[in-house]
Chain A
Amino acid sequence: MRARNRSRIAGTLGRAYLAMILLFLYAPILVMAAMSFNASEFYQLPFEFSTTWYERMAGNDAILRAAARSIWIAMVVTAIATALGTASAVALWRYDFWGKRVLQVLLFPPIAIPWLITGTAMLIFFFGVGIGRGTPAVIIGHVALALPYVIVVVTARLATFERVLEEAARSLGASPWLATQAVMLPWIAPGVIAGALFAFAVSFDQFVISYFLSEPGDSTLPVLIYTAIRKGFTPEINAISTIIIAFSMVVMLIAARFTSFGGER
């Protein structure tokens, strides 16, 4: 009797704790979303519903241009990182060769080194070789950050692929390339899609690298927001932030559907 009571109390406490964590994680985001619908420019309470800030945002050329640029850059980055990353993941999975461990370890610096260091290093190097600041530099930087994510996600999916299926296809007369195309690619497709979504999210949300590499007046959305916040923010920034956060969460939810991310199915 006592034991059962105790485990019920533990269960309730556990759930309460989890609820508190979720409150901590989501409260600021919800507050910001709510404030984007508040009429007051200085976040004054009581709350008064208004869509003014969304209307203002829709008329703000700088925000719209930055948003368009961010999306466009993210799409280019996604295409390049997904193609290069998938090719590498397949090669690392299929072939055993000297130095393979080194190549795998080399994927970690872009993730593990603080972006402040990577970003400033890129700035120095790109200036030195004449690429300079601007959209091409931002794309080169974003792809480098997204690549390891794509490779890790696709590799995880490849680990569940049975090599013997390709052998079966070849025993039935398919050339190695046809065997890959007919059997392996359909199998890893969900992993590739998830990798692409991760790459998109990495690029779309990336601030630090973009901050150092974009040309003033020609910046991505996060850089624009940062500048606006430091200059003293307006609720228009609230509106666009709410849209960004909703958008990236949706992208990640879709990505989660394509991976077994988060444990057993």
Chain B
Amino acid sequence: MAEAGHLARTDRLRAAGLLAPAYLWLTVAVFLPLSAMAFFSIITDVPFGDTEWRVTAENYAAFLESPTYARLLWKSVLLGVKVTALCVLIGFPCAWVLAKMIRGRSREALFLLVILPFWSNSLVRIFSWAIVLRGNGVLDKAVNAVWPWNVEVNLLFSEWAIVIGLVHSYLPYVILTAYLALQAIDDSLIEAARSLGAKWWTILWRVVLPLSSSGLIAGAVLVFVPVVGSFMEPRILGGRMGTYYGTVIEDQFVAVFNWPLGAALSFILLAVVLAILAVSAPVLRKART
């Protein structure tokens, strides 16, 4: 018998007292900064000290005038698509094996083992790939040990290296969300489909995928969004190949010091991200229940 909507005065005060610190903190650390960035993106110069500045649309115009930015944004989006697709294709069967083919205590242990790397430092994991993939590195040696002909495997500083590193970083996300979705599917549904004579691909296509799609889409969004904004992974694994939209933004803030342009570029990226989140919001909401 919850009395929704009407709280007594004291309860309102208590709720406000408990919530205010956290939400004030988020306001100062996230929401005000995003607003500040919106402001920065429409001015000519950093308004600190006695620099002259005025309101302008130049920063956004720069994005439109130079084809480089749009090309890099497109490159980043493509990278996001590739990494997301690979994560889903590799992660879904893995989640299936975990959720439906392994039983008992070992399932929980294996599941933990799969998502554990996700909670370790991503920078360090990307760095470890650099060691594995470099010419004359571990992968090179391993391939040459089993392959009779001499080949040189040097994937470092290629797009492949970036994709491998990113898939490694975000694969556990997809496995986690797909596993949770698959686990929620009652085994008897699959048994019922089999008893009705359905072949395994029919079951996958007509029963399993529709029921786990919300989890899969949630996982895909959680991969896609950070990959589009990635800059550290391309830098370490891509070398000279590794110029992406994210690295250009990074440069504006740490190398070129053109903050207003960086803010405008960030805001365009944010718009892309928000558009994706908005489109997938109904599905995400469903996935959380």
Residues of A within 8 A of B (CB): 10-11, 14-15, 17-18, 21-22, 24-29, 31-32, 35, 43-45, 80, 83-85, 87-88, 90-92, 94-98, 103, 106-107, 109-110, 112-118, 120-128, 140-141, 143-144, 147, 151, 201, 204-205, 207-208, 211-212, 222, 225-226, 229-230, 233, 237-238, 241, 244-245, 248-249, 251-253, 256, 261-263
Contacts and interface: CB of A to CB of B under 8 A. Distances in A.
B23 A106 contact: yes
Given A43-B131, A91-B18, A26 B25 contact: no
A120 B37 contact: yes
B73 interface: no
A121 B108 CA distance: 39
Given A31-B138, A253-B116, A114 B269 contact: yes
Contacts of A123: 253
B178 interface: no
A225 B123 contact: yes
Given A25-B168, A35-B131, A122-B33, 15 more contacts: A21-B171, A27-B132, A28-B129, A90-B18, A97-B7, A116-B249, A116-B250, A123-B253, A128-B47, A141-B29, A144-B26, A229-B236, A233-B130, A241-B121, A263-B111
A18 B277 CA distance: 31
B30 A85 contact: no
Nearest to A204: B121
Interface stretch (B63-71, B204-212, B224-232): B224-232
Interface in B197-252: 222, 225-226, 228-232, 235-236, 246, 249-250
Nearest to A109: B30
Q: Which 8 pairs of residues, A with B, have the shortest CB-CB distance?
A: A114-B229, A144-B29, A91-B18, A125-B33, A32-B128, A121-B33, A28-B128, A14-B97
B151 interface: no
B246 A116 contact: yes
Interface string B140-164: 0100000000000000000000000
Classify the secondary structure of B's interface with A: helix
A21 B175 CA distance: 11
Contacts of B231: 116
A229 to B, nearest CB: 6
A21 B235 contact: no
A114 B228 contact: yes
Contacts of A140: 25, 28-29
Interface of B: 2-5, 7, 11-12, 14-15, 18-19, 21-23, 25-26, 28-34, 36-37, 40, 46-48, 90, 93-94, 96-98, 101-102, 107-108, 110-117, 119-125, 127-132, 134, 136-138, 141, 168, 171-172, 175, 179-180, 183, 222, 225-226, 228-232, 235-236, 246, 249-250, 253-254, 259, 262-263, 266, 269-270, 273, 277
Contacts, number: 261
Contacts of A109: 30-31, 34
A18 B263 contact: no
Given A96-B5, A103-B19, A245 B141 contact: no
Contact of B33 (A84, A124, A249): A124
> For B34, B121, B132, B253, which residue has the most chain A Cβ atoms within 10 angstroms?
B121
A233 B48 CA distance: 37
Contacts of B131: 28, 31-32, 35, 43, 238
Contacts of B96: 14
A222 B277 CA distance: 29
25 contacts: A17-B97, A24-B171, A28-B132, A28-B168, A84-B22, A87-B18, A87-B21, A87-B22, A103-B19, A121-B34, A121-B36, A122-B29, A124-B40, A128-B48, A147-B26, A205-B122, A212-B254, A225-B124, A241-B128, A244-B120, A248-B121, A249-B119, A253-B116, A256-B112, A263-B183
Given A120-B37, A143-B25, A96 B226 contact: no
Contact of B120 (A85, A151, A245): A245
B119 A207 contact: no
Nearest to A208: B232
Given A124-B259, A127-B48, A11 B226 contact: no
Contacts of B5: 96-98
B275 to A, nearest CB: 13
Contacts of B46: 127
Nearest to B260: A124
A212 B253 contact: yes
Nearest to A241: B124
A262 B111 contact: yes
A65 B179 CA distance: 41
Given A91-B18, A120-B249, A207-B122, A11 B101 contact: yes
A103 B23 contact: yes
B97 A15 contact: yes
Contacts of A80: 25
B229 A116 contact: yes
A244 to B, nearest CB: 5
Contacts of A84: 21-22, 25
